[in-house]
Chains A and B, each alone.
Chain A
C-alpha cells in the first residue's frame, strides 16, 4: 500500500492539494492567486519564501559558475602550450585569482546549502519555512552585494587582484590591484554565509514536526546542520582576516610587516583557520545529497545511519583542527608540522566511514541507474581519488615534494569539482523535477554525465603526474617537459565544457518543456515527495507525520 497521499487529503480549507485549487497550492514560482499577486520581480527579490530564495541563490550562483568556468577554460587555453601565449603574465595572475575567488566564495560555498538547502531543509523536517525568513532574504542580498563588489574590483582601479584567492601577505599588502575592494566583498560574502548557517541551525532545533527526533532526520539535514556550525564558527575568522588585509593596505597597521617584527605566518594561520573548515562547508552538504540519493536508487535503507550522522559532526569538529597542513613548507615549527600532519590523518577517518557506508548501502540493493545515481556514483569515485591524494598531502614528508605543485591543484579539483560539483549536479537531477514539475531527458543526462566524468579525469589526472614531476602551480609558463600533459589537460577541459553545456541545456529544456513530472518519480521516502509537484507556495497545512526517511516499504516510484 502506498503511503497516504498527503496531497490528496483535504486541507483545512476543505480543498484538495491539486495545483490551481487554492493559492497555497499553486506552484511556488507562479502567482499566489488569480489576481496575479506573487509574480513580478519585487515578489521574487524581496520574497521571504525559502523556496524562492533558494532559486534566487541558484540563479546567481549559476551565473557566477559560468563566469568562473569561462575563466578556467581561458586559463587552460593559455597553458595548452609553453611560452607567452594569449595572456600577459599580469592578466594570467588576475585570472587565476578571480577564478579562485569566484569559485570558492561565490559558487562552491553557497552552492548546495543556499539553493537546495534553503528549498528542502524546511520540507525535510516538515516545516513551512526557516526560523528567520526575512534574515534569509537579507542573506541573499548580502550575497548579491558581495558579488557585485567583487565584479567591480575587476573593472576599477588597477584591476582585478593578482594575489591568488589566498591573499597572502606581504604581496596582498603591496600590490596595487584592487585587493581592498575584493576583501570587502569577501567580508560581506562571509556574512551571508554566516546568516545562512545561523538560520539552518535554529531551524533544525526549533521547527521539526512532532515526532521527528534527531534520529529520524534525513541525512541531508544532518549535513546542513553540521555545515551550519562551521559557517557560524569559522567564517568570522575569515572576516577578521579580510578586515586585517584592508587595515594593512589602508591604515598601514603593519601587523604582518616582518621589518617591524610582524609575522607573515600569522596571516596564514588566520587565513587557513577559516579556509580549511571552509572546504568542509563545501563537501558536507554534497555528502548529504549523496546520502539521500543512494538509498532511494538502491531501494534499501542507508547502511549505518547513526555513523553517517555522527561522522558529519565529527568532520565538522576534526576539520577545525588541521588547518596548518596548508603551511608545512612555510617555515612554521617542526612541532606544528608533526601535530597537524597527525591530526590531518584523523579527519580522513569519518570521511572514509561515509564512503564505506554508501557502498554498503548499494550492496545487494535494487539498483536503478537513473541520472541522480550516476552523478552520485561519480561523486564517490572522484571524491575517493581526491580524498586519498589528500593523505599524500597530509603526510608532511611527501608534502614537501608536492606542495604548491599541480598535485595540489589536481587534489582540490577532484574533491571540490568532482566532489561538490558532481554532488550539486546530482541534487539538480534528483530535485529539479520536484521543484519545477517537469522531467528532463534521462538519456541525454547520462551522456552529459559520462562526458563530464571523462572530461574531469582527462583534465585533472595529468596534473597529479605533472605535480609529482615538479610542475609548480600558478606559474605563467613552464618547461617543455610538461608540454604534452598540459596539452592533454586542456583537451580534457574541452570535453568537460561540452559535457557541462549538454547537461545544463538538457536540464533547462526538461524543466521548461519536458513532460509533467509525477509526485514521486524516484520513490523517495522523505517528506518533500509527499508534496505536490511542482512545490506549492505552502507545503504543509498541518504538522505532517515524521516518516522513517529511508524506509521504502510501500513506496514506489510513480514516474
Chain B
C-alpha cells in the first residue's frame, strides 16, 4: 500500500512529499492567511487575539508538520520539538505570573 503522496525512497530516510501534496499545503496556508486578515476586520473583542494566534498556530503546524517534515520524523525528534516549545511557553507563562498581577 503506497501513501498517495509518497515517492520511492531509501529505507530509513523518510519519503519525499509529492509536488501535488506540497502545493495543497501551500493553498491551505494561503486560505488561512486570507482568513486571519478577514477575522481582523471583525470586532470580536478579546477573541480577536485568540483567533489571530489560533490561526497562526494552525499555519505554523502546517509548516512544521509538512514543509519541515516533522510528521514523518521519529518520536524522538517530535519529543524534542515539543520540549522546546514547552520551555518557551513556560518562560512566557511564568513571566505573566508577574506581569499579569502587578497593581
Contact = CB atoms under 8 A, between A and B. Distances in A.
A contacting B, Cβ–Cβ less than 8 Å? yes
B90 A269 contact: no
Contacts of A332: 98, 102
Give the bracket for the number of chain A residues in contact with chain B. Answer: 20 to 34
B87 A333 contact: no
A376 interface: no
Contacts of B83: 229, 233
Contacts of A265: 98
Interface string A317-351: 00011011001000011111001100000000000
A269 B101 contact: no
Contacts of B95: 266, 269, 273
B90 A333 contact: no
A260 interface: no
A237 interface: yes
B90 A335 contact: no
B97 interface: yes
Interface residues of B, number: 15
Interface centre among B76, B84, B97 (most CB of A within 10 A): B97
Contacts of A205: 76
A336 B87 CA distance: 18
Interface string A97-129: 000000000000000000000000000000000
B101 A333 contact: yes
B91 A335 contact: no
Interface in B60-103: 76, 83-84, 87, 90-91, 94-95, 97-103
Given A205-B76, A321-B94, A335-B97, A233 B102 contact: no
Nearest to A277: B87
Interface centre among B98, B99, B100, B101 (most CB of A within 10 A): B98
A341 to B, nearest CB: 12
Contacts of A233: 83-84, 87
B90 A336 contact: no
Contacts of B94: 321, 323-324, 336, 339-340
Contacts of B76: 205
Given A237-B91, A320-B90, A336 B84 contact: no
B76 to A, nearest CB: 7
B73 to A, nearest CB: 13
A207 to B, nearest CB: 15
Given A237-B91, A334-B101, 17 more contacts: A205-B76, A229-B83, A233-B83, A233-B84, A265-B98, A266-B95, A320-B90, A321-B94, A324-B94, A332-B98, A332-B102, A333-B98, A333-B103, A335-B98, A336-B94, A336-B97, A336-B101
Interface of B: 76, 83-84, 87, 90-91, 94-95, 97-103
30 contacts: A205-B76, A233-B84, A233-B87, A237-B91, A265-B98, A266-B95, A266-B99, A269-B95, A269-B98, A273-B91, A320-B87, A321-B94, A323-B94, A324-B94, A327-B98, A332-B98, A332-B102, A333-B97, A333-B98, A333-B99, A333-B100, A333-B101, A333-B102, A334-B101, A335-B97, A335-B98, A336-B97, A336-B98, A339-B94, A339-B97
